[in-house]
Amino acid sequence: MTDHKIKIATTSLAGCFGCHMSFLDMDEKLAILSEYIEFNRSPFTDIKHCEPSDIGLIEGGVCTAENVHVLREFRTHCRILVAVGACAITGGVPAMRNYFDLRDCLEEAYLHGAGITNPQIPNDTELPLLLDKVYPVGDVVKIDYFLPGCPPPADAFLQLLLPLLDGKAPQMTGEKLHYD
C-alpha cells in the first residue's frame, strides 16, 4: 500500500447516479478503503471544483456545455481519468435522444407531453446550454481506462482501485467486468 492517501474525484454528467450508487455498494469494504483513499470533488463531498487528484471517475455522457467544462476540468487535474459505466463510455440511455432532432425533443418534453399544464420550453440564461447530441466522454477528452456496465458492479470498482493503492496500474480485465 502507498504511504499517502489516493485522492479520488468523481462526477456525474448525463448519468442517473446509478454508477455512484454502485460505488457505495462496496459497503463495509468502503470503510477499509477509506483508510487509503480520500475524496476531492464528488457528490460525496460537495466540493465544487476538481483539484489535483490521482484518479477521476466520470459517470454519464456529455449533453451540455457545462458537462464539457466539468470534463475538461477533470482531465486537467486528474492523473488517471476513468469513464465509468455505459453512459460515459457510449452515451448510454441519454444518447437515445440522438435519434431525434433536439427541437423535437424539447417540444415533446415541454410542450406536447402528457400532463403538461403550462407549456413552455425553459430558457433561463442560467440553464446549461444543451449540445446537439449526447457524446461519450472519450469524444471530448482523452480517457485512460473504461469501466463497463450499467452500472459496473462494486467489485469492479475495487478491481480498479486496489492496484492503485500498491502504486500499480489498474487491471481492467476479467470476470468482474460486465457489459450490461
Binding site for ligand SF4 (CB under 6 A): 15-16, 18-19, 59-60, 85-87, 92-93, 150-151
CB of 146 closer than 8 Å to CB of 82 = yes
- Nearer CB in complex with ligand SF4: 36/98: 98
Q: Dihedral sign for Cα 167, 171, 172, 176, please.
A: negative
- Nearer CB in complex with ligand SF4: 99/103: 99
- Nearer CB in complex with ligand SF4: 80/95: 95
| Shortest CB 91 distance to ligand SF4, Å | 9
CB of 83 closer than 8 Å to CB of 146 = yes
Report CA-CA distances (Å) from 128 to 48, 72, 96.
Answer: 16, 16, 20
| Shortest CB 16 distance to ligand SF4, Å | 4
| Shortest CB 21 distance to ligand SF4, Å | 8
- Nearer CB in complex with ligand SF4: 131/165: 131
The 10 Å CB-count burial string (b at 16+, else e) for 107-143 is eeeeeeeeeeeeeeeeeeeeeeeebebbbbbbebbeb
Which cell goes with 3? 504511504
| Shortest CB 13 distance to ligand SF4, Å | 9
| Shortest CB 23 distance to ligand SF4, Å | 10
Question: CA–CA separation, 113 vs 109, rounded Å?
Answer: 5
- Nearer CB in complex with ligand SF4: 9/87: 87
